[in-house]
Amino acid sequence: MALLTRDDIRRQSRLAWFCLLLLAAMSAWFWSLDKRNASMGVLVSLVGCLGLILPPRERMEVLPARLRALPRALDCTPILATLLSSPGYGLNWFYGENPYDEVVHLFSGAMAGAVFVALLLADGRPRRSGRIVLAGTVFGLLLGCTWEVFEAITGLIGDFTDTWTDIVLTTLGATVAAMVLARRAE
């Protein structure tokens, strides 16, 4: 069987492909601004995102059933997160007096929370909305803490105030996504 069939391509998310096109445009924009490292970083991210969405996971028996059942509509989430955060690194928007870092953490937490809850619900078993929201909140807290440890180890950004607000915003984003998807699941 072919690596990609017509059915596989039909299942692909058009929004994800559009977001990949925007990512390529962002790379070209950074290149035109003489931000070569940022441009190359975005291109590497684009290849990574392509590697996430292109494989026909629905046919890949080796993958867990939950991952195979993940809705293709969520394929755009890692690309949107990359689109959202790339200007912060490429144009130094994370630094300075602006709410950019907070917005990135809130929306990235929401997108990651949506994927987590979709994976949780992929088995089709009914779950109470309170438990879904609790799971989304715990996931957001763990994700936020893990990211902030990564930032601390690599010396990326921030002080203590930045760290705890980023954790809170990532957790809040994941919690809101869990609430919305729990309500839709009922």
What percentage of the chain has pLDDT greater than the value 70?
97
pLDDT digits (tens, 9 = 90+) for 110-148: 999 999 999 999 988 889 999 999 999 999 999 999 998
Cα four-point dihedral sign 118, 119, 121, 122: positive
Q: What does the pLDDT read at residue 131?
A: 95
For residues 52 and 45, what is the distance between their CA atoms, to the nearest angstrom? 11
Which helix (H) or strand (E) segment is 47 a member of?
helix 36-53
Reported confidence tier of residue 1, pLDDT bands at 50, 70, 90: low
pLDDT digits (tens, 9 = 90+) for 40-57: 999 999 999 999 999 999
Q: How far is residue 14 from each of residues 8, 11, 26, 40, measured CA to CA in Å?
A: 12, 9, 18, 24
- DSSP symbol at 12: S
pTM of the model: 0.87
